[in-house]
Structure 1
């Protein structure tokens, strides 16, 4: 399996600065997206610290781990990277008054062969488009999601609520944070979409699916998503990280190389 990555972030139409951040290591096949929160520019600091630390440390671990380490080892390494990033952000928040109370959501994916190890904290999401069908494969850590799960609100009521941005988990806020981690099998032609709530608050899932099914490159699709969110109001920063899977690989197996030279 090969993977193509494209990431784009935009300030939106209302906010004065961009507190979203994205990072990709194409060699290690690691993708990270974060949506910061906090006064002044603190959210921007938190999200920037998160993506830099996690992408760098996870990529370093993968380089040392050799070819296709066990999924359990990848998961544990990812959890340790996120735990250390949490401590770093919280430490900066406690030692710098201007950063007090800052934090960030997180969605991070490690793509290896035909599997995805996916972790998330908060309400930044990951979707998968497979055979034209869009599915959200993360579950928001938010007050609204809890209300929906408890049967207190319908999804339609939640979508119209003014409390959409109340998250129940965030990176860098408490000494310990619980990241939800899941493993997914990847099929050829799967398209994964990581995004901040600046996209999903402006573009519903049905429209999102229609936009993703539009022919074009990853860069064109990302631009279309961001332009649509801004056309609908752009009330928040908008970030999109697209990952396209395809059959094949850069390196041939030993057997195929031997057969090719016969």
Structure 2
């Protein structure tokens, strides 16, 4: 089997204008298994409401993912594991939605709160992404940048119907109006898609505090050129703040690299066959 390496990093920032950070981010990479995830939520709902909503959602999803790598999962076939991952994400997001609704019911102060969410999970070379709202996931590799999520927003519907262009959407007065969120209704439907990665890649998850300022071309330029790759999160935050930072900004990067087993074996054989350097004796010079 190929040797897979996963590394993650994340950062959230209050920005230049807001008085509170209503974003939440969680990330993790296992030291023992090729398993990693990123969770990002962008809350809404007034003072403390948005921050509470995103924190509840991110922590609930994180709890479900942390509970995944048990003997039952590890003993399943790859096909079964993929089905379990999908079911776990659905269950996690439904649980987060219920937790938000319960909090709203017991505390009227949070009556208007809700949150977006985007989750990416890697297991070996299998990538699965779930999202609700306008927080996004992107994949970058040698073929360029691919947006993995489609915003649940008013402007995205206007783009799809041909009413406005992507450029016009950036300036629209309703660009922050989302059509789907956690904590709003009893039932919630996340959009879930999966892919099998076939080459080294970078995965970016972010809130609209970043994409408000950086379009897909700017994002691709950073992912393609900024190294170390995991430090792109700091570059993204700095760029968004430099350009105005009107909203909270969150970004998470997952670096996926795969080395073929044959290549690993060849490297090991080369190392064992390499001639040893002759012993060298170092003497102090005689005075």
Q: State the TM-score, normalizing by the size of structure 1.
A: 0.91
Of the three residues 75, 98, 110, the one matched with 1:99 is 110
Deviations 1:107-161 (A, max 9, x none): 0011011110110000000011110611111000001111111112222221221
Partner of residue 274, structure 2 = none
Q: Which runs of 5+ in 2 are unaligned?
A: 270-287
Of the three residues 21, 46, 49, the one matched with 1:42 is 49
Q: Secondary structure at the match of 2:69?
A: helix
Q: Per the alignment, do residues 63 and 208 of structure 1 end up closer, same or farther by CA in structure 2, a change over 3 Å counting?
A: same
Larger Rg: 2
> Is the 1:132–1:213 contact (alpha carbons within 8 Å) kept by the matching residues of 2?
no
How far residue 219 of structure 1 moved from its aligned partner, in angstroms, is: 4.2
Partner of residue 135, structure 2 = 124
Q: CA RMSD in A?
A: 1.9
Q: Report the Cα distance in structure 2 between the residues aligned to 1:94 and 1:25, rounded to whole angstroms.
A: 32
Q: Report the Cα distance in structure 2 between the residues aligned to 1:248 and 1:98, rounded to whole angstroms.
A: 52
Partner of residue 19, structure 2 = 16
> Is the 2:230–2:254 contact (alpha carbons within 8 Å) kept by the matching residues of 1?
no
Deviations 1:41-96 (A, max 9, x none): 11000100111111111220333543254312210121011101100011101210
Partner of residue 236, structure 1 = 247
1:174 aligns with 2:185: yes
1:81 aligns with 2:92: yes
> Is the 2:230–2:255 contact (alpha carbons within 8 Å) kept by the matching residues of 1?
no
Q: Secondary structure at the match of 1:139?
A: coil
Q: Per the alignment, do residues 59 and 17 of structure 1 end up closer, same or farther by CA in structure 2, a change over 3 Å counting?
A: same
Q: Which runs of 5+ in 1 are unaligned?
A: none
Of the three residues 168, 191, 212, the one matched with 2:223 is 212
Runs of 4+ in 1 over 2 A off after TM superposition: 61-70
Of the three residues 37, 41, 62, the one matched with 1:30 is 37
Q: Secondary structure at the match of 1:111?
A: strand
Partner of residue 125, structure 2 = 114
Of the three residues 61, 68, 73, the one matched with 1:66 is 73
Q: Secondary structure at the match of 2:109?
A: helix
> Is the 2:40–2:119 contact (alpha carbons within 8 Å) kept by the matching residues of 1?
yes
Q: State the TM-score, normalizing by the size of structure 2.
A: 0.84
Q: Per the alignment, do residues 151 and 228 of structure 1 end up closer, same or farther by CA in structure 2, a change over 3 Å counting?
A: same
Q: Report the Cα distance in structure 2 between the residues aligned to 1:101 and 1:215, rounded to whole angstroms.
A: 39
